[in-house]
A and B are shown apart, each in its own frame.
Chain A
Amino acid sequence: MINTKNKLILSVALLANAILWTGCSDDFLKEKTDYSKLTPEIYNDYTGAKMRVDDIYLRLLPDVNNGLSYRSTSSGKGDIQSRSTEEFSSLSNFVNPDVVITSSSNLDDWFHVSKNTSSGPWGEIRNCNDAIEGISKGTLADEQKRELLGQVYFFRAWQYYLLVKTYGGVPIVDKVQLTDVSEATDLIVPRSTAKVCIDFICNDLDTAAAMLPYKSGDFGRVTKGAALALAGRARLLYASPLFNRADDESRWKAAYEANQAAITALNAGGFNLAYQSAPGVNAAGWSKMFSDFNSSEAVFVTLYNKVHDDDAAHEIYRNNHWEQTIRPKNTNATTSNSGMTPSAMMVDLFPMADGKKPGQSEYAYNPLTFFANRDPRFYRTFAFPGVYWRFEGNPKMWPKYDSGGNVIGNLDADYPYSGENYVLWNYSWYDTETNRNDETKIGFGADLLGTNYRGVYVRKRSNDFDMTSPAPTCLYRWPATSSENRQGAFGEAALPWMEIRYAEVLLNFAEAACGYNRLTEAKDALIAIRQRAGIPAGSDGSYGLGDLSTRSEMFAAILYERQVELAYEGKRFDDMRRWLLWDGGANFSQIANAPSTWTLSGFGGNTCTYLGVEPLNGKRRDNFEICAKTNASGSHASDPLKTVRPLPLDLKTDATTTGNTTMDNLVTFYTTYLMRKQNRGDEVGKVIDYKPQYYFIGLTSGAQSNNTSLLQTIGWADTQKGNQNGTFDPLAE
């Protein structure tokens, strides 16, 4: 028997016990798991965390097929950016004198897109922040964390770089924010100035560089060199006249150091100018690097595959449609692609074979025989009537259609080539002289091109058979029948896209070195690039560059070299913005309320004058075609020159060698039978007019209404404040 006291004690003890076991802790709640989805547990597993990083690659690697977007850069096609430069005619909204881009019209919104994780830069940044926080807090070994985090920091910086180069200054969101509407005011992040943004980007890239390897075992992943190269690009952007109106030397110095560090790291990782020691004939090496799946040139690269996938929904394919875009229609019968026409301006500005500009070169420049004696890179950048442009495949097999779309036999009967013998004969002819002289009229193209011929084709980065002998393995699948390839000829292609390649890093370095008055180092970089292209050293050993004794001459040479080396790689629009090349930066005072700091005080107050180039504003771009002097009717059979065609130019032999009879015969053929006909590029009577406020893109009304506290950029209407002029100054310090 237990006495009362004991019972009391026992009871109290039991009570205490009971409270303890039921009540003391809510830990059991924390053990609950959500089984319906993957939880942050994935960050504790290397494969899981890597899958997250791969998602960031998928979302943020520039994709050439997407066209311009908040996450994909220009990739050489005739997009709104390239049509604002010398590369393509046809007035984009940026340069159309009749269009005023405002925050509510004609403006692409790359700032907001939508409040969504799957579209828009902020969704991408959230994705990165989530991975950074997840991996950092996870339980992976430090080494694994560093390997993965380095990649994520790189991509966060990349997305910010894309925003900053467009908008000048943007909000910096460096953590995963709540998605709680009731806390909305706490979530507001104001725009930071360019200085703060660039520092943030470079800081991320330094972090990334410290974590990333010199060379990744998994080609296509970013490296230390890539991170430092992007930092170099960002520093150069900040040193450029667009941001550096007063020509502050310290910014050039920072850019110089950043790019120098990048080169050191890249070299350590085995990156260099591909084929520098073996340029090959007609820049064959330079050309081949674009279609090398694993190139030492590829600093920051998006890889594609050529997996055959007959179900669009499977999406195990990731293709680069560049080859399909650039190839002439008569190789491409099943798709609407029919090649791209470069502007005449671009064709005419390439150097001559000695590396000097037309007019300054020892080689005379004849606009009709524009292909004679040009920079070796010219032949790999453009295709023209009378040149081989071989490929793997055989369009002869393809069905031939009448105008109603009915099959009327095979192309075979009329068509002269198989892929391995393909020659581009894209000259044209007209039925009357009046039509031939009318720049708006289209003639009839040879070799079944019909009205789909281009005067000159962009050939750059083509994965063609004319680079090496024997022919290279192609990165595209060319189907024997049209039904075999869901995406059409050249559609299933794995051509890599080099967003940053080694030559660009060298050019970035050269420009920064020039800005920092290291002219010799700048020139050495240019020489290396020209050497790799196969330009002869010349008697002065300057590879056609000449003395370049002043900073401005050197800057001009570097920008010219960029224009040539990086032609149709989507870089020119940014270069023109950086250097204010539409108006030399002389018109900032036209912007209402523009601060005095916006006026260009460095570079002589006008970059165009400083560089000795003509501003693009006020100019009109044309295209041209090569047409027969003789008229004929518009049918394949009535080709007036078919029988007198000379042997085509084979790029496997040196085009510039004097005594190259093929070249000589082709020149003769041109001068005898053909004429250069100007085709309308930009609209008649209109000249390029890029307005000074476009140098910093404003926020769209949509972006503003979805982020009501954001300040509009000076020069753009603030739709949240009754269309008053914006007040945000990206250049404020």
Chain B
Amino acid sequence: MEKKNIILSLFLGLLLAFVCSTQLYAQTRTITGVVVGEDEQPIIGATIKVEGTTTGTITDIDGKFSLTAPANGKLTISYIGYISQTLAVSDASRVILKGDVMKLDEVVVVGYGSQKKAHLTGSISTVAPNEISDLSVTSLASALGGMMNGVAVSESGNRPGAQAKIIIRNSDNVPNSPTAGLLVPLYVIDDYIADENAFNNLDASMIENISVLKDAAAAIYGARSAQGVILVKTKRGQVGKPKISYSGQFGYTDEYYRSKMLDSYNFGQIWNAVRAADPSDTSLDSQRHLFQADELEAMKGMNYDLLDKYWSSALTQKHSLNVSGGSENATYFAGISYVTQDGNLGRIGYNRWNYRAGVDAKINKWTKASMQVSGDYGKTTKSNVRVGGTNDEKDYITLLTRPRYIPEYVNGYPIAAYGVTNGKIESSQEYNYNMVENLGNSKVNMPSNMTINGSIEYDFGWNRILKGLKLKATYSKSISTTKDNEFGSSYTLYRFADGDAGRGGSGYHLYTSTDEHSLNYDGLTTISVDNGSYLRRNMSRADNYQINFIATYARKFGLHDVSGLFTIEKAESESEYVWGNVTLPYSFTNQQSNGAGGEQTTTFNRSESGVLSYVGRVNYAYADRYLVEFLIRSDASTKFAPENYWGVFPSMSLGWIASEESWFKENVTFMDFLKVRGSYGILGRDNVAAWAWLPTYGSEVVKGPIFGSDPGISAGAHFQIPNAVPNRNSHWDKSYKSNLGLDMNFLKSRLSVNLDGYYDKNRDVFMTVDNAPEYPSTVGAAASPSNYGATDNYGIEISLGWRDKIGKNFKYYVKLNTGYSDNKILKAPWKNAASRELDDIMPNQRYDRGLWGYQYIGMFHSYQEIAEYFDDNQLVTYLGKSQADVHPGMLIYNNVRGSQKADGSYYAPNDPNDPEGNKIDKNDRVQISKYRSNPYGFTVNMGGEWKSLSFSAQFSASWGSYTMMPTEAIQTKSVISTGSGYDVMQYTNLPSFWAGNMFVYEDVLDAQGRVVAAQNRDAKYPNLRFADNGLSSTFWKVSNTTIALRNITIAYALPKAWVTKVGVESCRLNITGQNILDFYNPYPDKFMSPLSSYSKYPTLRKITLGLNVSF
């Protein structure tokens, strides 16, 4: 029998077995009642359950309920945010629920089930969807920034559709990691192991709960959990009449900050001062190489700000519609959502549909089944720029940094961004945003994912002995497909003739006329530009399934609370792709392969993998005070050789709720809750490329040996051993994680304090090892990525929460997250002492070696100063230059060290024994900043509620490190350019702070002797001519401190009295802003913002109006 059939028959078997079982009946009565809160307001949607059964209902709009229950039975009444109550049926006519300040009943998803938050022994952070649902994001992770301690979110960019990435407790600090992309948390959605994309594609409105397992508690996902685990539980149906909710967001996005650039006139002057800065440069032609005075005058009126022309704010919107409801025997949930974010430039944009529908059915009293189908399909459109190299950011960069005296079109002719010399410095100058845009060149990515889950659960509650035991089988299957379309074509630009026959101005530099020389169209020539000139399709499909058999047990024996879990998990995946490319599309192309006349290429391939796991968990709690959890998981992965398939990952955690002790209750009044918990366990990683253990062979169809008797035979095929040889020995790498935590509530639970300290010892860490001397050459192959390294990661996390009321109506909360983390690299392939540089990783030092650069001690203002500096320091060379090549306008760097000795140490500066003599070189760098990224910081999430009005906000600050100004802002260098030197400035504008602030040694005169850049020896900044000025140095250091109001929401809930009249249960309006304000900008002239980047697609500010209605 095929495997699938076996699975099917098993399901059917289980189904049949339980359909036949009977329900037990007892004497019953019908109970009606009402549920209200402490404020006497009815609670709508509270759940009423008959204890020991699955019978239940929910309250209606007036808080009323009615159900049949045994006359002597008990009812449990619960509602989110309130403490659940269990009452005798007779006491249930009016129930007053108390608000749950301590949230002791809160349930947390912990992997293959959930646990009472109070009983947690691991370090688990959670986010409720209502905390993030007002935020407008297209990638779920983006909404989690600052929400959880130890969970860092980084954006991959700001363009529509960019995906955010989550890193838990800095677990990506692995030097020489062979597959850095795999150092991400494990994502589990409804117990189905998914990936980062699947997580990011979820819609917040369909999520019940997100938990992040940060410590050894993640061992339930053992092998792949060393990076932490993110668990998502999606919404399920609730018993009751159909509940329909709609949430919508409408808003716009716009740049948070636009970098300030030089205007045409100042650009012209700076160019002149740069071009003429080197007195030894005899090639300078003062007419052809400098903007002439008449040209500068004309440039005062020129402002071809292309970014301003094409940038616009853009719309973003989201609509989700969810329906849920159900009877006692079946509940259902269905939701659909659509989100779109238009691009601020051209045709780029993103949209996505999500759907999710599920049914939970009770087949009989002891048997439940559920089915769920969910999925998404989206579309990301990106610009496609291949002129002068592929770069997704090129559109924005060229628009921002195009010198503002160069128009895009002259008299209707599209022109290349040719600068002073009217020639091509590099191909990027021939990228013309509007031409490419009009040709429809783009890259479109259309992924679509569908997941089907089914499960069946059988409860042994009817049996006296087996009571508490449940058996469950689940099957999940997902199919992911993607379609990528790319289109690049070619176009024509125009170029004016050189000199007198061409451009305007007395130096022939302008695309307009001046009084001295007019623009001449006669010499126009064409430039043919190739934007890839290709059509491409990529279709891929990945099929995954996961099957689990789960046995759970939970039972209370007096004060002993025992629960356990055992599951077997099996998963397989396969994927295939077809990739096709055709070159030279016709100008009238239909964008299909018959619409191109070039070479066609096709490739296709397949990959597959599998995982098998055994998982066990035992929890024991005594009197709700003493908590023990033991986890074990054993995983087998095809990433390793069969003998190394299996890894076993146990962990243990303990907890003690001291506040439950009677002596505590009697004696401690200021503290309401105290829990001490600790965990220790081994977790794993398999971050090696698939099949890295398997010997593989390359095939070459030529070069082979000659045999036979024919000297005319061709050298044919042979199969060779690739240089990347297998490491059959590679096995799971290990992370020994320990965590100590303290959870405390004070002052009637108004103040909550959570402290976590962790120490992760990562051992056998996979590293690529290029040069390990102990690895002998006689092996005959390069060393493969091996379980070689060792690192320690440690830190503390502190969360403080305050929640109180002022008066009767004003409630507020403040939560502060802060902490510190650090790491040590114990073993990695170090460089030899003699060749190790100052900023290379070192034994027992942290991965972040900080920022290194030269120590600035002044600027050379004259040749006299240069001579003195050389004399005083007896310099042989200054940054590789002899004294003759050093000029005024260059920064002076301090002579800190001599050359490096064989043992790695350095000669003192000016040491006469230094064999290399005194040099200013890379050995003279100092540590500008101990860290590259801020070690300290905090996030504050706060909110308040006054009657129907509420607000929430997130505020964050971080400090403790310095960074360098972007090199493109302090050098004649462009992000999109491979070139360097002052010529880059021909087509690249610079930030505004340079205006009037750059060192100019002497007045620069044009061909007619007019001053076109004035002497400026007191300038603050050095001359851009000299690239060494742009080296990393203390001169350009800026504080990395950021203080920002990240987001804020103000909401208003329409009074119930109003909305109920029109049949609406609740209606809430909100306005939300993201990336609102920053309070500290250390950059000169504030030419850029620390929250955005200098020359990339900027951080977006989003303002959205939200509407949430439920019926």
Contacts and interface: CB of A to CB of B under 8 A. Distances in A.
Given A29-B642, A183-B729, A218-B708, A188 B776 contact: yes
B90 interface: no
Contact of B713 (A28, A125, A307, A709): A307
B777 A122 contact: yes
Interface stretch (A315-323, A324-332, A349-357, A368-376): A315-323
Contacts of A293: 709-711
Given A51-B717, A180-B730, A184-B774, A8 B463 contact: yes
Contacts of B781: 115-117, 122-123, 126, 179
Interface in B208-225: none
Interface string A68-85: 000000000000000000
B703 interface: yes
A35 B22 contact: no
Given A23-B568, A177-B779, A126 B707 contact: no
Interface stretch (B12-20, B136-144, B1088-1096): B12-20
Contacts of B695: 39-40, 130, 134, 176
Given A38-B697, A184-B775, A120 B645 contact: no
A114 B771 CA distance: 11
Given A19-B568, A22-B547, A37 B722 contact: yes
Interface string B1-44: 00100110010011001001110000000000000000000000
B989 to A, nearest CB: 43
A126 B780 contact: yes
B10 A314 contact: no
Contact of B773 (A40, A120, A708): A708
Contacts of A125: 780
Contacts of B14: 14
B715 interface: yes
B783 A51 contact: no
Contacts of B610: 28-29, 32
A145 interface: no
Contacts of B829: 181
Interface residues of B, number: 95
Interface stretch (A52-60, A202-210, A533-541, A620-628): A52-60
Interface stretch (A523-531, A557-565, A594-602, A699-707): A699-707
B570 A22 contact: yes
Given A32-B638, A218-B707, A127 B721 contact: yes
A117 B608 contact: no
A112 B777 contact: yes
B788 A181 contact: yes
A11 B471 contact: yes
Nearest to B14: A14
Given A15-B471, A39-B696, A182-B786, A307 B13 contact: no
Given A23-B614, A126-B781, A303 B707 contact: yes
A143 interface: no
B712 interface: yes
Contacts of A114: 777
Contacts of A38: 696-699, 719
A315 B547 CA distance: 51
Interface in B679-694: 690-691, 694
Contacts of A26: 612, 636, 642, 645-646
B974 interface: no
A36 interface: yes
B778 interface: yes
Nearest to A113: B777
A10 B17 CA distance: 8
Contacts of A184: 772, 774-776
Contact of A494 (B609, B711, B776): B711
A179 B727 contact: yes
Contacts of A127: 720-721, 780
A315 B716 CA distance: 9
A34 B703 CA distance: 26
A22 B462 contact: no
A54 B716 CA distance: 9
A116 B706 contact: no
A449 B717 CA distance: 42
A418 B729 CA distance: 66
B776 A48 contact: no
Contact of A34 (B21, B696, B708): B696
A447 interface: no
B254 interface: no
A178 interface: yes
A638 interface: no
Interface string B527-555: 00000000000000000000111010000
Contacts of B710: 293
A11 B720 contact: no
A281 to B, nearest CB: 26
A189 B776 CA distance: 8
A408 interface: no
A477 to B, nearest CB: 10
B774 A708 contact: yes
A61 interface: yes
Among all A-B residue pairs, the 9 with the closest Cβ atoms: A126-B780, A122-B780, A494-B711, A37-B696, A57-B705, A55-B718, A316-B714, A34-B691, A303-B706
14 contacts: A8-B466, A23-B612, A23-B614, A28-B610, A29-B636, A42-B697, A178-B729, A179-B779, A179-B786, A184-B775, A304-B706, A316-B703, A494-B711, A707-B777
Given A178-B727, A181-B783, 8 more contacts: A37-B697, A51-B718, A116-B781, A120-B777, A122-B778, A173-B778, A219-B709, A306-B712
Interface of A: 1-2, 4, 7-8, 10-11, 14-15, 17-19, 21-23, 26, 28-30, 32-40, 42, 48, 51-52, 54-55, 57-58, 61, 111-112, 114-118, 120-127, 130, 134, 171, 173, 176-185, 187-189, 218-221, 293-294, 302-307, 314-318, 475, 494, 703, 705-710
